[in-house]
Structure 1
Amino acid sequence: MSTGTTTGTTTGAKLEGSVDRTARGALEEALALDEALAPDGRERPHAAAALAAVRRHDLAALAAEVARDAERRGLHRGIGSEDDVLPVDPVPRVVHGAEWDRLASGLAQRVRALEAFAADAHGAREAVRAGVVPAQVVDSSRYHAPGLPPPRVFVGMAGPDVVRGADGRLVVLEDNVRTPTMLAYALALREVVGERLRVRPGPRPVRAAARAAAWGVLRAATPVPDPVVAVLDDDGPGRVRWEVGALAALLGVPAVRPAQLRPRGGALVLPDGRRVDVLWRRTSEERLHDDAGRLNALGQLLLGPLRAGSLAVVNAFGSGVADDKRTYPYVEDLVRFFCGEEPLLGSVPAYDLGDPRQLVQALPRLHELVVKPRSGSGGRGVLIGPRASAQQLARARAAVAAEPGEWIAQEVVALSTHPTAVDGALVPRHVDLRPFAFCDGERVVVLPGGFTRVALGAGELVVNASQGGGAKDTWVV
C-alpha cells in the first residue's frame, strides 16, 4: 500500500476514524491520478472537447440546469424521507475508445467465466473438483439455488464496479451479477448532460445498443419464439423504482409487482391475462428462500412456474453464487479454467478469509486492508482499514475471528479523480465506473458507456449513489 492513497474499495462505505479527513482527503486527491488532466494541468487529448464544451457555459448555471432537468425527469433514489433527486454532475467522464475496447474485451471474458461458473456450481462442479474454488465457497453461499431446472442463461446482465488505480490500470472491484442497477440512470444522463453539451463528434450512442442487448438476453432466456416479457419490481418501496419504469419503457413492456401476478395452471399471468414467459427481475429480494431454507414471498410466487419450466427469470436465481464475495478472490483463476486464457482484466488483490492460509496472511494487516462481509452490498458493513480507529479494527478482528468465512479482504486501490463542478468551479473528485455487460449464453455485449459514480465532498470516498454520491455521464470517444 502506498502511503496516502485513497481506496477504491470504499464505494458506499460510511467512513469513521481518528484521522483528519479533510487534510487527508486533500493529500489523497493530490496523489490520485486524474483522468482528464495531466500532472502539469494540461487537458488530456481525449477529454479536451468535452471540457471545452463545459467551459463555454457558466458552470454554476449549467449545474443548475442539469439539476432541474434531473428533477423534471424524476431521477429519484431512496425511500420515503430519504428519497431525493440523484445529483448529476454536468462534466462528463470521457474514456478513450481504444481503452474502452480493451476494457470491454476483458469484461466479456470475465462474464463468460462467471456464467460458466454459475452453471458449473449448480451442475458438474468441475471447478470445485479441480481445486479452483473451495467446495465450502459454493456450499455455504446464500445464493446457491439447488433444485431448480438449469436456466438457459444464469448471468443475463452484469454491472461490475471498475476502478482505476494510481498506475492507470482499470481493475474490477466487484462483479455485481445478481441484480445490477443504474442502467436506466446511465441512459438518462446521456440526455441530461450529453445532449445539452452538443459536442460533435460526440460519444458513442448507447440507448439503442442497450435496448438491443437487453432484448437479446430476454429472448435467449426462453425457448418461446416471441416471449411475453415484464419487468418485476418490489411490492414495497424500492430504492430504484424510477429505474424499473424506465427499463420497462425502454423495452416497451409492462412493469409489474409480485402482488399483480396471478398463478394459472403452473404459470404466471399478467394483470391483462397474458401468460408471462420472462421476468426481468429488478427486486431487492435476490433469493427464493430465507437463511433458514423457508420459501420467502417471492419463492412462493415463482418457484412453481420455475420448476414447471413455464417461466424464466433474468438474472436467474443461482447466479449470485458467481457474485458471492468469497468467489471474488478466485475469479481470475476461473477465467483461466473456463476460458483457457489469461485474464485480460484484473481483480483487486483479495483474500478469502474463510481459507485459513489466506486468513493468516491478512489478519495482521487489517489496518492496511478493506474488509467486506461476503453477502453485503452498497458498502454496508465495510471497514476501511487505513481510516479505521483502533476500536473499529479490534471489533473487525473479533468479527473475522468468530466467522472468518463471512468476510473477505481487499488491498487498497488509489481511486482516480475527475474534474467535477462544485460551487461554480472545477475541482477533482474521486470516481468509479459501472459498465454494463449482457450475456445471452453465446456472446457478451458490453455497452459503449456506463454509469460513473462520483464522490461530491472534498476528500470524500463515498461514491455509492444510495449513500450521497453523485453521477456523471460517461462518454466513449
Structure 2
Amino acid sequence: MSADPGAGLSAASVDEALLPDGGDRPHAAAALAAVRAHGPGALAADVAREAAALGLRHGPAGEDHLFAVDPVPRVLGRSEWQELATGLDQRLRALEAFVADAHGPREAVRAGVVPAVVLDTNRYLAPGLAPPRRWIGMAGPDVVRGADGRFVVLEDNVRTPTLLAFALAARDLVAPRLGVQPGPAPVREAAVAAMRQMLAAATDLPDPVVAVLGDGPRSGVPWEIDRFGEMVDAPVVLPSQLTARGDALVLPDGRRVDLLWRRTSEERLTGDDGRPNELGELLLGPLRAGTVTVVNAFGTGVADDKRTFPYVEDLVRLFLGEEPLLRSQPAYDLGDPAQCRAALDRLPELVLKPRSGSGGHGVLIGPRADPEALERARAAVLADPGEWIAQEPVAISTHPTVVDGALVPRHVDYRPYAFCTDDGTVVLPGGFTRVSLTEGELVVNASQGGGGKDTWVVG
C-alpha cells in the first residue's frame, strides 16, 4: 500500500471559483459578479426566507431543520461536465454488470477481482428473487475535486441517492435571482423526463401502475419524496398503506401496484438474522411472484457496500474491457489481512469508514484525529476488520460561500445524478454541490450541518 502524495490533506485545496491570486475564474466570473451586485448577506437572507416558505427541511421528525441553500452557485464548464458524465456512464455500466454477476455466476470472484468473502458477507444481496430488467435505476455518487484539480469518486450511492429535489429547489431559488445570461443549462425538465424514462425502463408493461414508497416521519427527506411523487405523477405511500393480497401488492384505492419506486431509509428485505423485516413481510411475496418491480432493485446495494468500493476500477476492466475514465479515490479493504496491517501502520494518514455507514457518521479523518480517537479506531478495526475500509485523504476543493454576510471559502463535494434508461445513462446537467458551513470542516453531509449550492453547467 502506498499513498498518493498529491492526495493528502497537506496539499493545498483548489478553489472552484477563485484563482490562486484571488481573481475570479473565467467560468465563474459572471455568477460571482451577480452575487456581489446583490450583496451576499441580503441575497442569502432572501433565499433562506424563500426556502423556509417552501418547507425545505431535512432530517427525521423531531430532528429536522431548515436546509441551508447557499446563494453562490457552483459553475462547471460543459466540457468538464461532459467528461464526468461519460465516466459516470462507464462506471454505472460496470456496476450494473457486477450486481447481476453477484446474484448469479460470480465471475468477479472467479477472476480474482473481488474476494469471495466480500460477497459472502454483503448485507445487501437479495437471493431468491427473479432478476429485474435493470438493477440500478438512479445513482448519485459523491465526487470531489482534489489538489491536482481532478474529480474522483468517494462513494457510488446506487441504493437510495437523495437531495435531487433539494438541488431542483436550489435552482429555483438562486438562478432567477441572479439573472445571469446566458444562464445554466435547464435541469428540472430534464430531471422529470429522466425519472419517467427510468421507471419505464424498469418494466415491460406499457402502462404500469406506479407508486412512490416512503417511510414517513422516519425519513430524513420526506419533502423530497413528496416532490418525486409529483414529478412522476404517482401516489406517495407508506408500507402500512399497502396490502399484500395474494401475490399482488394493492394500493389503498384497490389498484394493483406494478412498479414501486422505493425511497425508504430501509434498503433491505431482511435483518441481519435473515428474517424478513417490515418491507420483507410486505414485498417478498409479490417480488417472488414477479407481480411487482422495485426501483432501485433490492440487491443493488451489493455495488454500494463500502467494502466493494476498493475493487470498482478493476470491475470496469473486467466487465467492460476498458480503463476507468472516472477514478476512485484509492481505498483499502481492511478485511484483507495484508491491507489491514498496512492501513493500521498508516492510520494517522488515512480516512477510516465503517462498511455500512452513511451520512458521514463513524468516519475518522486520521490526519485530524487525536491519539485517543486513533486508538479507539484501531481497536474497532482489530475487533472486526471486515467492517471497515480505509481511504487516502483528499484535500477537497473549496468554494466561496456566504457566512455571516461575507464570502468565505468552504469545502464542497459534488453529487451528479444519473438515471439508467433504455436509451442509455442520462446524467442531469448540474446536480448538487454540498457545502460545509463550518471553517475547515471536511464532512459536508446535511445530517451534520452542511448545506447545498445550485450547480450550473455552462458553455
When normalised by structure 2's length, the TM-score is 0.97
User: How much has 1:79 moved relative to structure 2?
Assistant: 2.3
Q: Does the residue aligned with 1:453 lie in a helix, a strand or coil?
A: strand
RMSD in angstroms over aligned alpha carbons? Answer: 1.6
Q: Any idea what SS the aligned residue of 1:133 has?
A: coil
Deviation at 1:31, TM superposition (A): 2.8
Alignment-mate amino acid for residue 105 of structure 1: T
Counterpart-to-counterpart distance in 2, 1:326 and 1:270? 37
1:451-462 alignment, distance < 5 Å: 451-462=432-443
Query: Retained in 2: the 8 A contact 1:95–1:474?
Result: yes
1:135 Cα deviation (Å)?
0.8
Q: Note if contact 1:5-1:31 (Cα within 8 Å) is conserved in structure 2.
A: no
Partner of 1:20: none
2:358: which partner in 1? 377
Q: 2:302 aligns to what?
A: 321
Find the aligned partners of 1:250 and 1:105 in 2 and give their Cα distance: 26
Aligned counterpart for 1:292 among listed residues 264, 273, 276: 273
Structure 2 residue identity aligned to 1:422: V
Q: 1:444 aligns with which of 425, 428, 445?
A: 425
Q: What is the distance in 2 between the residues matched to 1:118 and 1:441?
A: 18
Aligned residue for 1:306?
287
Of residues 197, 206, 213, the one that matches 1:232 is: 213
Distance in 2 between the 1:81 and 1:300 partners?
28
Q: Work out which of the residue numbers 209, 213, 218 in structure 1 matches 2:199.
A: 218
Residue identity opposite 1:350 in structure 2: A
Find the partner of 1:135 among 104, 116, 121.
Answer: 116
Tell me which residue corresponds to 1:433.
414
In 1, Cα distance between equivalents of 2:164 and 2:4: 34
- 1:293 is displaced (CA, Å) by 0.3
The residue that corresponds to 1:387 in the other structure is 368
Superposed CA deviations along residues 220-262 of structure 1, whole A, max 9, x for unmatched, are 1111111111110015421100000011111111111111111
The answer to whether the 8 Å contact 2:156/2:304 transfers is yes
In structure 2, the partner of 1:145 is 126
Residues in 1 aligned to 2:442 and 2:423: alpha-carbon distance in whole angstroms? 37
Q: Mark the runs of 5 or more structure 2 residues left unpaired by the alignment.
A: none
Write the distance in 2 (CA, Å) between the matches of 1:98 and 1:429: 25
**Change in 2 beyond 3 A, CA 1:397/1:473:** same
Q: Look up the match of 1:256.
A: 237
The aligned length equals: 456
Q: Please give the per-residue CA displacement for 1:146-169, whole angstroms capped at 9, x wherever unaligned.
A: 111111111111110000000000
Equivalent residue number for residue 282 of structure 1: 263
| Structure 2 partner of 1:12 | none
Residues 5 and 32, structure 1, Cα contact 8 Å, conserved in 2: no
* 2:74 corresponds to 1:74: no
Determine the structure 2 residue equivalent to 1:353: 334
Letter in 2 for 1:143: Y
C-alpha distance in structure 2 between counterparts of 1:211 and 1:351, whole Å: 38
Once the two structures are superposed, what CA deviation does each residue of 1:86-130 show, in whole Å capped at 9, x if it has no partner? Answer: 011000000111000000000110011001100110011111111
Query: Alpha-carbon deviation of 1:196?
Result: 1.5
Matched, 1:400 2:373: no
Q: Percent identity?
A: 70
Residue 409 of structure 1 aligns to a residue whose secondary structure is strand
Corresponding position of 2:227: 246
The CA deviation at 1:315 is: 0.6
Query: Out of 49, 53, 63, which is 2:44 matched to?
Result: 63
Report if aligned partners of 1:4, 1:31 keep a CA contact under 8 Å in 2.
no
Equivalent residues of 2:61, 2:217 under 8 A apart: no
CA distance in 2, matches of 1:236, 1:201: 41
- 1:468 and 2:449 are equivalent in the alignment: yes
**Which one-letter code corresponds to 2:301 in the other structure?**
G
Are the equivalent residues in 1 in contact too, given 2:165–2:228 (CA < 8 A)? yes
1-structure distance, mates of 2:385, 2:423: 37
Corresponding position: 1:35 with 2:5: no
Kindly provide the amino acid, as one letter, of the partner of residue 84 in structure 2. Answer: L
- The one-letter amino acid paired with 1:31 is A
| Conservation of the 8 A alpha-carbon contact between 1:235 and 1:258 | no
The correspondence for 2:169, drawn from 162, 177, 188, is 188
Amino acid across the alignment from 1:343: P
The question of 1:207 aligning with 2:207 is answered: no
Residue pair 2:352, 2:391 contacting (<8 A) in 1 also? yes
Distance of 2:143 and 2:157 partners within structure 1? 11
The one-letter code of the counterpart of 1:291 is D
Change in Cα spacing, 1:357 to 1:6, as seen in structure 2 (3 Å) is closer
Q: What's the secondary structure of 2:431's corresponding residue?
A: strand
Measure the CA separation in 2 of the matches of 1:229 and 1:453: 30
Residue 445 of structure 2 aligns with an amino acid whose one-letter code is N
Say whether residues 1:121 and 2:102 are aligned partners.
Answer: yes
Instruction: Give 1:314's aligned amino acid.
Output: V
> In the TM superposition, what whole-angstrom CA distance separates every residue of 1:262-284 from its partner, at most 9, and x where no partner exists?
12231111112211111111100
What letter is aligned with 1:341? Answer: E
Give, in angstroms, the shift of residue 374 of structure 1.
0.7
1:3 & 1:54 partners in 2: Cα distance? 36
Q: Match for 1:456: what amino acid?
A: L
Structure 2 distance, partners of 1:399, 1:446, is 38
Residue 90 of structure 1 pairs with residue 68 of structure 2: no
Q: Following the alignment from structure 1 to structure 2, what is the Cα–Cα distance between the partners of residues 278 and 201?
A: 39
Corresponding position of 2:343: 362
Instruction: Tell me, in whole angstroms, the C-alpha distance in 1 between the residues paired with 2:93 and 2:344.
Output: 33
What is the rounded CA distance, in whole Å, between the counterparts of 2:29 and 2:337 in structure 1? Answer: 50
Residue identity opposite 1:209 in structure 2: A
**In structure 2, what is the Cα distance between the partners aligned to 1:442 and 1:129?**
31
With over 3 angstroms needed to count, the CA separation of the structure-2 counterparts of 1:394 and 1:4, relative to structure 1, is: farther
Which aligned runs of 4 or more in structure 1 are off by greater than 4 angstroms?
Answer: 1-7
Deviates more, 1:434-443 or 1:245-254: 434-443
Offset, 1:379: 1.1
How many Å separate the matches in 2 of 1:315 and 1:169? 29
* DSSP 3-state at the match of 1:32: coil
Checking the alignment, whether the CA contact within 8 Å between 2:59 and 2:447 is kept in structure 1 is yes
- Checking the alignment, whether the CA contact within 8 Å between 1:235 and 1:259 is kept in structure 2 is no
Q: Distance in 2 between matches of 1:102 and 1:346?
A: 12
Secondary structure of the residue aligned to 1:332 is helix
Distance 1:226 1:48 in 2: 47
